[in-house]
Structure 1
């Protein structure tokens, strides 16, 4: 009797990976986290990621989304992160600031608008981005805020920035800013401290 050669069974075709834009809205945190990591390579996903971030309850997924927005690093991503500066969620607000501080030049256009926001708290948060912003314009923005902003707390935030990144030639501007608010002794104290530090 002839032997019948058995052919090995063909492997089942691999399932195509789920579209990360769909998986980002999936039921499991692991799936959403993986989707965020994959979307970091898609500059067009900034809006989608930011929308999910405002609804995301799992902290690890939120961190993955913030990381993805930082890696996308476009002006559109920066705009959406600046939108979060008004969030009531302290963790989300602070995490957005930290992400923006890592984004370098992509932040500048959005920063211009944030520093002109009618809400002084948002302007303060925007100034806070300047402390660690790795861009030569950071001190220029802080000096402009110091010279032009009419809210004493925003100017105090700018003084904190210049105390970290300022240079001695900025001392007259710092002193002039303190003189703009004669009824704010804490600002004069902050100005003196900033001047001592940068000289």
Structure 2
């Protein structure tokens, strides 16, 4: 009988612990926000010696059965390339983008999506929300890259680096398409 009573007491404690913890957080005055619908993420590219070369920090909106490009993200308009804060790219060394050498530093990454190509923009204005404060006066470089068909639907906006001859490509993919943004080592 004693074992049964201990077992029942243990089960009750396990059942009440989450409610007690939630009540304790509420009573302590902690006001943690809910999980963001477009959580922040980052992609980092390192060289063979494990030194950082480039990092991108962005928020990941979800497709959620919506038509993304041309509708949710209009064609021909400047986009923050994600959600919430403007996407930021940090270069840890000078890199060549298109025909221009971009100095090591942090830049906003804007894009202008179109059906067959995207304009990629590195802009010197940082710590901004969305594309509301965007001005082309602060553009460091603009290049155009082709849109590619993704082999599978990409549910959340995703970014990753891949090694490429003489540098790396930043892959930006969402829905049924992606682009490759080439970064070459500056000599």
Please indicate the TM-score interval, normalised by the length of the shorter structure.
under 0.3
- The structure having more radius of gyration, on CA atoms, is 1
TM (norm. structure 2) is 0.24
Q: Pick the structure with more strand per residue.
A: 2
Which has the larger helix fraction?
Answer: 1
